[in-house]
Amino acid sequence: MANEPPTAPTETNLPSDPSLYDLDRVALGELLDGEPRFRLDQVWSGLYEQLKDPADISNIPKVLRTAIDELLPPSLTMVRRSVSDDRETSKFLWQLRDGYLIETVLMHYDDRTTVCVSSQAGCAMACGFCATGQAGFDRHLSTGEMVEQVIRAGQISAETNRRVDNVVFMGMGEPLANLGPVASALERLNEDVGIGARHLTVSTVGVVPGIEAFTDLQSQVGLAVSLHAANDTKRNELVPINKRFPLDVLARACHRYVQTTGRRLSFEWAMIDGVNDTDADAAELAAYATPLRAHVNLIPLNATPAYATVGSPLSRVHQFKDRLHTGGVNATVRRNRGTDIDAACGQLTAHHRSVRR
């Protein structure tokens, strides 16, 4: 089994009754049938523009607020909020209505606020260095479960007079294995919450049919590909889906995304000590990234329980970046955020599970 490449699950087994942010405007209009026509605008604007809970949408009758609350319950119950030392990073552990756990990270920077959302409970892609991959797949998230993560982070940001400017689908799960609901969530965030498409990013492990379908959406939403190795032998080890969609196939899909959308592609590269941080790795990466004009994000690996290797020392990360620059590739080092609060993908859930065990 260990040598088999992972497959994307097709079963959704989502809760069948919709939650607060699952309905699109038309479906919410149907639910409000019998109300005056302007009610839909009031409710929609209350939920998505003013980020209000139904109980606080004060320009609609109280009975309607209660009815919405009962018919469309929220999908997320906060289990824990961890705040990092600098107070600029918060991590939320949520319980879904069927009991599964997911995480969201909220990061304030000087010039922007970013939310990192989960697209699945767990993940089936089995990358060994990733805490979510180590734990396995629970289920896909619905559109509303993804949108709600952003709304809740937005409500919390408003307490300190900040608003969410960027959303990255870099939390738990593989977004391109759940593209239908992810695409609807992107649309809702763009059109209703008002986050520009160029401020939305989807990160993929490299599920090629997903990249093709994402390209065909012809949107301006950004794409990041988790590369981590630029030769097939090494990438097969680090990112098992590579056995199904090897690097040359991945490069063709990336090329078509760039050609079709005109957007710059990013590669993510978790720097793992002695594994993918040598000069030879940098040379392979430069050769792979150059024809695609991709930008490289270097992320020092966060240690996880079931993976013995640690992140590269910062000096090595910077040397690696310099090698890439010399090779003509644009690269930046992503500042680790919230390492003290287990903010890397899946870590909080893993910790919560082991504490409860």
Catalytic, 187? Answer no
Pair type for strands 200-204 and 222-226: parallel
Please tell me whether residue 288 adopts helix, strand or coil conformation: helix
Tell me the closest approach of the beta carbon of residue 3 to ligand SAH, in angstroms.
20
* Whether residue 345 lies in the annotated active site: yes
Residues 128/114, Cβ–Cβ less than 8 Å: no
**52 vs 244, which CB is nearer to ligand SAH?**
244
Based on CB atoms, which residue is closest to ligand SAH, 6 or 46?
A: 6
* CA-angle at 252, arms to 185 and 184, nearest 5°: 10
Q: Which is nearer to ligand SAH, 59 or 332 (CB)?
A: 332
Closer of 43 and 331 to ligand SAH (Cβ): 331
Catalytic hit among 11, 103, 116, 148: 103
What's the closest the beta carbon of residue 252 comes to ligand SAH, in angstroms?
Answer: 19
- Six token digits for residue 46: 């209350």
Instruction: Select 90 or 134, whichever has its Cβ closest to ligand SAH.
Output: 134
Contact 254, 208 (CB under 8 A): no
CA 165, 168, 171, 175 torsion-angle sign: positive
Helix (H/G/I), strand (E/B), else coil: 170: coil
- What are the φ and ψ backbone dihedral angles of 90, each rounded to 5 degrees? -125, 140
Q: Which two tokens stand for residue 99?
A: 């009991």
Q: How far is the CB of 222 from ligand SAH (least distance, A)?
A: 12
Helix, strand, coil percentages, rounded to 5, for the chain: 40, 20, 40
Residues at the contact surface with ligand SAH, assessed by CB under 6 A:
125, 127, 129-130, 170, 174, 203-205, 226, 268, 270, 299, 301-302, 304, 344-345
Strand partners for 297: 268, 332
Pick the catalytic residue: 116, 123, 127, 345? 345
CB of 137 to ligand SAH, least distance (A): 11
- Least Å distance, CB 202 to ligand SAH, is 8
So which residues are the catalytic ones? 103, 345
